[in-house]
Amino acid sequence: MKKKEQVFNKLVRDKIPEIIENNGDIPITRILDDKEYKVELEEKLLEEFYEAIACDTSEDRLEEYADLLETLSALAEIEGSSLEDVITIMTKKRKERGGFSKRIFLKKTINKK
């Protein structure tokens, strides 16, 4: 009987190979170098973003938002920082420039000079 292969070629969470093995399949993996890791995290960020905006339910969107945060956390670590540091910067920017809760959409500006 011929074995069926599925090709993924993408960054996955740390426990995915173990989960695949527990399901009776054989994961074929490799460890990425620093440059590849950053590129794949950026690809993962886009993947999770598109999955989030495609969701039909609030529950599904929240799951995808969690995946986005996990990916952002890993990207922050590459920069020698943490998700908490990113949140601190976000809070500072919100205090200085505001957030998005007022739903303001800037149509244009007119130069008064």
Per-residue pLDDT of the chain (113 residues; tens, 9 = 90+): 667 899 999 999 999 999 999 999 999 999 999 999 999 999 999 999 999 999 999 999 999 999 999 999 999 999 999 999 999 999 999 999 999 999 999 999 999 98
- Nearest CA to 28 out of 54, 52, 60, 5 is that of 5
Given this model, what pLDDT does residue 89 score?
A: 98
Given this model, what pLDDT does residue 112 score?
A: 93
- Nearest CA to 31 out of 8, 5, 47, 12 is that of 12
> How far are the Cα atoms of 5, 23 from residue 2, in angstroms, in the given order?
9, 18
Given this model, what pLDDT does residue 1 score?
A: 63
Instruction: Quick: pLDDT tens for 29-48.
Output: 999 999 999 999 999 999 99
- Nearest CA to 42 out of 73, 13, 67, 71 is that of 71
Given this model, what pLDDT does residue 3 score?
A: 79
